[in-house]
Chains A and B, each alone.
Chain A
Amino acid sequence: AQTVTQSQPEMSVQEAETVTLSCTYDTSESDYYLFWYKQPPSRQMILVIRQEAYKQQNATENRFSVNFQKAAKSFSLKISDSQLGDAAMYFCAYRSARSGNEKLTFGTGTRLTIIP
């Protein structure tokens, strides 16, 4: 079974600085998808970024980028120029590319605080 580990329960960063959230995963599959979801105080789950395992290029969405290391099974999220609105719980998630159950396997989350 796949597992996702987020070893940082809490992180904080000064506004306008850069922060990196860590995520590692365990799988025997070679084709899969990785995601970062943001959960602000409103509790809505918002997709931040998506990475396809067969693509070597790291995904980027504006101030958000990932460092995807397939051999190391590592998928970290970098937030540049942190803003107050980035304060949230961040979840890393894995999804197999096999047909069938489209379950997301989530990590336990990292709570990010932005210091003004």
Chain B
Amino acid sequence: EAQVTQNPRYLITVTGKKLTVTCSQNMNHEYMSWYRQDPGLGLRQIYYSMNVEVTDKGDVPEGYKVSRKEKRNFPLILESPSPNQTSLYFCASSPNEKDTQYFGPGTRLTVL
């Protein structure tokens, strides 16, 4: 089954404790993105990647890092999480810039 997977689905952590949210897609897509969803703000892009080893900032990159060492994986790294990073995070992928983006199931992150 073609899908985007994220792990973990739920995470509660404390300020400053490094964490990684994994994202993997099995559709051989070149493009992958991370978004965060906050009430009243919709979804906003954090980082994106157009291919292996090619990443760039989206609209809200502060406090996040990403890497794209393999085509299928695009992990989101929070080196020192803060409470304002409490949010619902989505990973998405698409074959190219003209195609629909497919979303993972979301990761609910709470930073205390």
Partners in one complex: yes
Residue B45 contacts which of A35, A104, A108 (CB distance < 8 angstroms)? A104
Q: Within the assembled complex, what's the spacing in Å between the Cα atoms of A91 and B10? A: 23
B100 to chain A: which residues have CB within 8 Å? 35, 47, 50
B44 to chain A: which residues have CB within 8 Å? 106
Cβ-defined contact, A107 with B97, below 8 A: no
Q: Within the assembled complex, what's the spacing in Å between the Cα atoms of A91 and B44? A: 12
B48 proximal to A (CB < 8 A)? yes
Cβ-defined contact, B97 with A44, below 8 A: no
B52 proximal to A (CB < 8 A)? no
Most A-side CB within 10 Å, residue of B31, B56, B103: B103
Classify chain B: how many residues form its interface, as a range: 20 to 34
B5 proximal to A (CB < 8 A)? no
Q: B38 to nearest A CB, angstroms?
A: 10
Binary contact readout B71-103 vs A (1 if CB under 8 angstroms, 0 otherwise): 000000000000000001010101011101111
Residue B106 contacts which of A44, A96, A106 (CB distance < 8 angstroms)? A44
Known A35-B100, A45-B90, A106-B43; judge A101-B56 contact (CB<8 A). Answer: yes
Question: Which applies to chain B's interface (DSSP): helix, strand, loop or mixed?
Answer: strand
Q: Within the assembled complex, what's the spacing in Å between the Cα atoms of A100 and B50? A: 7
B97 to chain A: which residues have CB within 8 Å? 95-102
Q: Within the assembled complex, what's the spacing in Å between the Cα atoms of A93 and B37? A: 13
Cβ-defined contact, A43 with B106, below 8 A: yes
Q: Measuring CB to CB, which residues of chain B are less than 8 angstroms from any residue of chain A?
A: 31, 33, 35, 40-45, 48, 50, 56, 58-59, 88, 90, 92, 94, 96-98, 100-103, 105-106, 108
Q: Measuring CB to CB, which residues of chain A are less than 8 angstroms from any residue of chain B?
A: 4, 33, 35, 37, 42-45, 47, 50, 91, 93, 95-104, 106-109
Name 28 interchain pairs, CB-CB below 8 A, sorted by A: A33-B98, A37-B103, A43-B88, A43-B105, A43-B106, A44-B105, A44-B106, A45-B43, A45-B90, A47-B100, A47-B102, A50-B100, A91-B42, A95-B97, A100-B97, A101-B56, A101-B58, A102-B31, A102-B33, A102-B48, A102-B94, A102-B96, A103-B48, A104-B33, A104-B35, A106-B42, A106-B44, A109-B42
